[in-house]
Structure formats: structure tokens, C-alpha cells
């Protein structure tokens, strides 16, 4: 029983990893369930036994990627609890992303497509933004409470800016990797922001 | 002759406008030449007489959108010649974009897809970023020369940041329009930046 469970989980994770590469390479619309099934040595019916539909597989892949990021950099990572340390942890995420262009490409293709209402990633993308904005805004407020940041800052607007900067730099870097050092540019932004938000 | 030319140009512009909507709605991969041809009352062969292939049509549509933006906000618009006025002109572009979600959606879907090497929009996206970065960096340097901005600023890094902020906020706004006021958040960023770059 225990062993069957572990094998089932391991197989699911392997399917997610393979599907992630397929979506990253071909986008949601161009991705092929047949190719994914073949690579994990399952029939299409066997694959659909685990993930019901292409849409559900996509959402599972996106959740899987978020989960990996959270394990690596989420609240509690490095023991930070908000403030400047949390903003620097975001810069660590970007450092990490600069080493995994395939994953970043998936995210960029899906986010691009997901702006179209009705796209299966739309709800996921909306939920992700709201969660991320809430987390970053909370980190900024924690910094205000500890006196690292000035009172009265607009936490939501700064959260929107930080997330936009990460996403926009990713796009530039994917399109023209040799021209944009996204990790350095983002870290520069974070350090300028920490300095600008310091109490007078 | 003159009249035939004008008619041909008008027809081309009409094809571009219709194709833009089709790409915006379905992405590059999902867009259908047959639907575009039907909407402009041409056969597919007639459509391909004007634009040779789906790829060339896409690139023509993207150039057409850029051209519309340049006419509206390019160098010389409002008589600005760089510096703070040029940054505020970028904020005017975002104000305008907030009123044309369909166009913005096209750009976002294509930019997202275009991170994949081999996508027909890849070269276009790369060229667009390089041109935009050069224009914005030149505007920042013009501000330094006129004494509006402090000497020694990193014009390329600030250009990357400004473009990333515009693109990233667009994505958020498309995914969750009720939550993000992209025009206000971007204008706030621009005004904070102008203040931060002021000579001491």
C-alpha cells in the first residue's frame, strides 16, 4: 500500500516534469498529449487516468512549478519574516530563474496565452497574481512595522511594481538573453527600492 | 493609377486591422487565415497574394501596431525631446493602452509566444526591445545633458526597468483588470523615478 502510493506519486511527478517541458516548448495549444504519454511510456488513456484532460494537466503543471518555488523561496526561507529580507529573497528567485530558462519559458508562454479569457490558465494566473501581491504587500507592511520602511507607503502599488518588474525582465531576458542581465537589473531595483523606502 | 494605389493601401490596412483582431483572440498558432480572408471578403489565395504567408501577416500586423504607437507617441510627440517629458510620454502610452485592451492582448499573447526560439515573432520582439531600449536610454541621457537627471545614472538599466514595468503591468491588468490600475501604477513609478534621478 505504502509502496504503491510512493510509486504512484513518483509517476505523477515524472508526468508533470515531462509535461512541463512539452508545454514550455510548444505552448498550451501546441502541446501534444500523445507525445507526453509516449515519453512517460503510458498510453493516452493511461495518462488521462491520472490527469483527466489537457487543461487539468496544464493547471497541475503550473501548480507544481509554484510549489517548487515556494519550497525554495517561500515564507520561512532563510528564516526571513518580511521586510527588506523578503524583497532580497525575491531577487534570489530571479537569480535562480536565470539558471532554468526552460521553466521560465513555460511560465512566460502560459502567462502570455492566459491573458485570453477562456484560456485554462486564466484562473490560475489570476489566483497566482492575487496570492503573490498579497504576500509581497504583507512583506512590505512587516518592514514598516519593524521600522525598516517608512510608514504610509502604498504596499499594494509597490507589490504590483515588484511583480511587474520580475515578469517584464523575464520576457526581455528570454527574448534577448545576451542583452539583459535580469538578475542584476532586478537586484538593482530591489536595492534602490529598499533605500528609497527607508524612514527619513 | 493613383486611385488604384489608394484602394490597394486601404485594403491592406483593412486586412491588417482584421488580422490583428484574429491574432489577439486566438494567438498566432490558433489564428485562422480562412477566417481572416472571409471577414475581408477575399479568398485565401487572394489574402496570400497580399501577405505571402501567415508568418509574414503576423509580422506585418505587429509592425502596423508599432507604427500606430509611433505616430501617436514617438519622438517629436508633444514636442518633447527626451528627459522627464519623454518618460511622461511613456506614461501617456500606458494611459492610451488602458483604453484598447484588444490591442494590448495581442501584444501580450504574441510576446509570450515569441520567447520560444523559432516563433515567427521572435525576431520582431527582439528588434522591438532593442529599439525601445535605445530610445528610452537616449531620452534618459538627454535628461542628463539638460541637467534634469543626475550624471552617472545607468541609462540602459533604467531603460530595461521602465520597459519591464510597462510590460509586466500590462500582463497583470489583462489577467485581472479590476485589481490593477496599470496607468496609475506606471505613472507613479515614472514620477518616483524622475524624483529619484534629480541631481542632488
Side-chain-side CA neighbours of A85 within 13 Å: the count stands at 12
Q: How confident is the model at residue A75 (pLDDT cuts 50, 70, 90)?
A: low
Give the residue-averaged pLDDT of A115-135. 85
Are A180 and B160 a contacting pair at CB < 8 A? Answer: yes
Do A146 and A166 fall within a single domain? yes
Using a CB-CB cut-off of 8 Å, the residues of chain B touching A108 are 112, 115
Task: Report d(CA A132, CA A15) in Å as an integer.
Answer: 26
Do B75 and B43 fall within a single domain? no
Percent of chain A with pLDDT strictly greater than 90:
48
- The whole-number pLDDT of residue A3 equals 58
Q: How confident is the model at residue B104 (pLDDT cuts 50, 70, 90)?
A: confident
Are A112 and B116 a contacting pair at CB < 8 A? Answer: no
Q: How confident is the model at residue A68 (pLDDT cuts 50, 70, 90)?
A: confident
Nearest to A165 among B27, B125, B161 (CB): B161
Q: Find out whether B37 and B44 touch, Cβ atoms under 8 Å.
A: yes
DSSP string, B173-194: HHH-TTT--HHHHHHHHHHHHH
Using a CB-CB cut-off of 8 Å, the residues of chain A touching B109 are 112-113, 115-116
- Average pLDDT over chain B, rounded to whole? 86
Domain holding B45: CATH number? 1.10.10.60
Indicate which of A106, A112, A192 best probes the interface with B, i.e. most B CBs within 10 Å of its own CB.
A112
Using a CB-CB cut-off of 8 Å, the residues of chain A touching B168 are 163-169, 171
Q: Find out whether B144 and B150 touch, Cβ atoms under 8 Å.
A: yes
Do A46 and A64 fall within a single domain? no
Domain holding A65: CATH number? 1.10.357
The minimum CA-CA distance between B121 and chain A, rounded to whole Å, is 10
For chain B, what is the domain count? 2
- The whole-number pLDDT of residue A115 equals 76
Domain of B85, in residue numbers: 59-197
Do A30 and A74 fall within a single domain? no
At residue A176, the 3 state secondary structure works out as: coil
Do A42 and A87 fall within a single domain? no
| Conformation bin of residue A80: beta by default, left when phi > 0, alpha when psi is -120 to 50 | beta
Q: Find out whether B163 and A172 touch, Cβ atoms under 8 Å.
A: yes
Q: What is the pLDDT of residues A136-163, one digit of tens each?
A: 999 999 999 999 999 999 999 999 999 9
Do B36 and B71 fall within a single domain? no
Nearest to A163 among B25, B166, B172 (CB): B172
Q: How confident is the model at residue A86 (pLDDT cuts 50, 70, 90)?
A: very high
The minimum CA-CA distance between A8 and chain B, rounded to whole Å, is 32
Are A168 and B168 a contacting pair at CB < 8 A? Answer: yes
Interface predicted TM-score (ipTM) of this complex, two decimals: 0.82
Using a CB-CB cut-off of 8 Å, the residues of chain A touching B22 are none
Lowest mean pLDDT among A13-22, B26-35, B63-72: B63-72
Are B130 and A176 a contacting pair at CB < 8 A? Answer: yes
| Whether the predicted pLDDT of B1 surpasses 60 | no
Do B48 and B63 fall within a single domain? no
Indicate which of B172, B189, B197 best probes the interface with A, i.e. most A CBs within 10 Å of its own CB.
B172
| Whether the predicted pLDDT of A78 surpasses 60 | no
Rg (CA), chain A: 19
Do A64 and A47 fall within a single domain? no
Do B164 and B92 fall within a single domain? yes
Residues 6+ apart with CB under 8 A from B109: A112, A113, A115, A116, B23, B24, B27, B28
Contacting A with CB below 8 Å, chain B residues are 25, 27, 29-30, 105, 108-116, 122, 125-126, 129-130, 133, 154, 157, 160-161, 163-169, 171-172, 174-176, 179-180, 184-185, 188-189, 192, 196
Nearest to A115 among B109, B125, B157 (CB): B109
pTM: 0.83
Percent of chain A with pLDDT strictly greater than 70:
92
- The whole-number pLDDT of residue A1 equals 47
Do B112 and B42 fall within a single domain? no
What letter does residue A149 receive in the DSSP assignment?
Answer: S
| Whether the predicted pLDDT of A109 surpasses 90 | no
- The whole-number pLDDT of residue A77 equals 56
Among the listed residues A56, A74, A45, A70, the one whose alpha carbon sits nearest the alpha carbon of residue A16 = A56
Among the listed residues A32, A148, A40, A37, the one whose alpha carbon sits nearest the alpha carbon of residue A88 = A148
Are B164 and A163 a contacting pair at CB < 8 A? Answer: no
Q: Find out whether A189 and A167 touch, Cβ atoms under 8 Å.
A: no
The residue in chain A having the minimum alpha-carbon distance to the alpha carbon of residue B188 is A157
| Whether the predicted pLDDT of B2 surpasses 80 | no
| Whether the predicted pLDDT of A114 surpasses 90 | no
Kindly report the length of chain A. Answer: 200
- The whole-number pLDDT of residue A76 equals 56
What are the helix (H) ranges across chain A? 2-30, 33-39, 44-51, 54-73, 84-97, 101-114, 122-145, 155-175, 182-197
What letter does residue B159 receive in the DSSP assignment?
Answer: H
Q: End-to-end distance of chain A based on CA atoms, in angstroms? A: 62
Nearest to B175 among A126, A154, A169 (CB): A126
Do A35 and A104 fall within a single domain? no
Are A168 and B172 a contacting pair at CB < 8 A? Answer: no
The minimum CA-CA distance between A174 and chain B, rounded to whole Å, is 5
Q: How confident is the model at residue A72 (pLDDT cuts 50, 70, 90)?
A: low
Do A139 and A63 fall within a single domain? yes
Amino acid at each position: 500500500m505504502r509502496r504503491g502510493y510512493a510509486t504512484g506519486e513518483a509517476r505523477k511527478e515524472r508526468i508533470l516534469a515531462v509535461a512541463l517541458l512539452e508545454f514550455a516548448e510548444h505552448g498550451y495549444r501546441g502541446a501534444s498529449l500523445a507525445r507526453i504519454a509516449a515519453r512517460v511510456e503510458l498510453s493516452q488513456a493511461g495518462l488521462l487516468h491520472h490527469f483527466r484532460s489537457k487543461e487539468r494537466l496544464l493547471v497541475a503543471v503550473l501548480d507544481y512549478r509554484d510549489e517548487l518555488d515556494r519550497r525554495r523561496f517561500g515564507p520561512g526561507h532563510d528564516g526571513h519574516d518580511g521586510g527588506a529580507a523578503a524583497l532580497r529573497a525575491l531577487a534570489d528567485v530571479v537569480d535562480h530563474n536565470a539558471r532554468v530558462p526552460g521553466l521560465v519559458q513555460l511560465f512566460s508562454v502560459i502567462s502570455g496565452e492566459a491573458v485570453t479569457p477562456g484560456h485554462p490558465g486564466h484562473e490560475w494566473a489570476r489566483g497566482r497574481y492575487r496570492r503573490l501581491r498579497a504576500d509581497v504587500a504583507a512583506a512590505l507592511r512587516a518592514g514598516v512595522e519593524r521600522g525598516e520602511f517608512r510608514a504610509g507607503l502604498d504596499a499594494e502599488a509597490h507589490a504590483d511594481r515588484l511583480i511587474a518588474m520580475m515578469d517584464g525582465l523575464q520576457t526581455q531576458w528570454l527574448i534577448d538573453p545576451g542583452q539583459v542581465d535580469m538578475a542584476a537589473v532586478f537586484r538593482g531595483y530591489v536595492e534602490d527600492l529598499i533605500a528609497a523606502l527607508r524612514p527619513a
